[in-house]
Amino acid sequence: AQKDVSIKFARPLEDRFAAVDWARGPNGCPIFAQVAAWFECSMHDVIEAGDHVMMVGRVTAFKNSGLNGLGYARGGYFAPSVAAKANSSAAGGEIGAVAVLERHGALFPLGYDNLSLPSYSAGGGDPAKTLASHLEQLGLSVHDWFSLLDL
């Protein structure tokens, strides 16, 4: 349902925000109406990466509406949750999940020689719950942030 909003912001308009329905978030950032989820971030770091600059934000507010998300790749729009289910079905029900672990501002990959993000593959079921169970088996406490995401 947000394809028209995406198109308005992808094309040059004098005042894009006048053409869409939005409100200010808890920290003053514009939040579009009827979105699947929104995040408000504060600037955490700026990293020079060759001819690019990566800006890293710290999430200060978040809300998930339960609506389907909207993705864009290779010139077309898609619903990520529908695409994930289709990919899972096409792969015989196998689905993968990955987590990023953070403690006191530092990221924690797993492993000793070959560091990697914690991940888990499972057939069917809820990938977030399966990954949470796997992390708990590794002795890591898992907070209820999985419920925030529509994987």
Sketch the domain layout of the chain as residue ranges.
1-78, 93-144
Measured CA to CA, the distance from residue 125 to residue 146 in angstroms comes to: 14
Instruction: Please say whether the beta carbons of 17 and 84 come within 8 A.
Output: no
In the prediction, which pLDDT does 138 show? Answer: 74
- Please state which architecture CATH assigns to domain 93-144: Alpha-Beta Complex (3.90)
**What residues does 32 pair with on adjacent strands?**
22
| H-assigned helices in 22-143 | 80-90, 127-137
pTM: 0.51
| Spatial separation of the C-alpha atoms in residues 132 and 136, rounded to whole Å | 6
Amino acid at 1: A
Q: How far is CA 5 from CA 16, 32, 92, 133, in A?
A: 9, 9, 35, 38
pLDDT given at position 151: 37
The answer for residues whose C-beta is within 8 angstroms of residue 150's C-beta and 6 or more apart is 36, 37, 64, 66, 68, 69, 81
The pLDDT value recorded for residue 135 is: 73
Question: Is the CATH code 2.30.110.10 the one for domain 1-78?
Answer: yes
Rounded to whole angstroms, what are the CA distances from 55 to 2, 43, 58, 86, 125? 25, 7, 10, 32, 35
Tens of pLDDT, residue by residue, the chain (151 residues)? 888 999 999 888 889 999 899 999 999 999 999 998 899 999 999 999 889 899 998 889 999 888 888 888 778 887 766 545 545 444 555 555 555 666 666 666 655 555 555 566 666 666 667 767 777 777 776 654 444 343 3
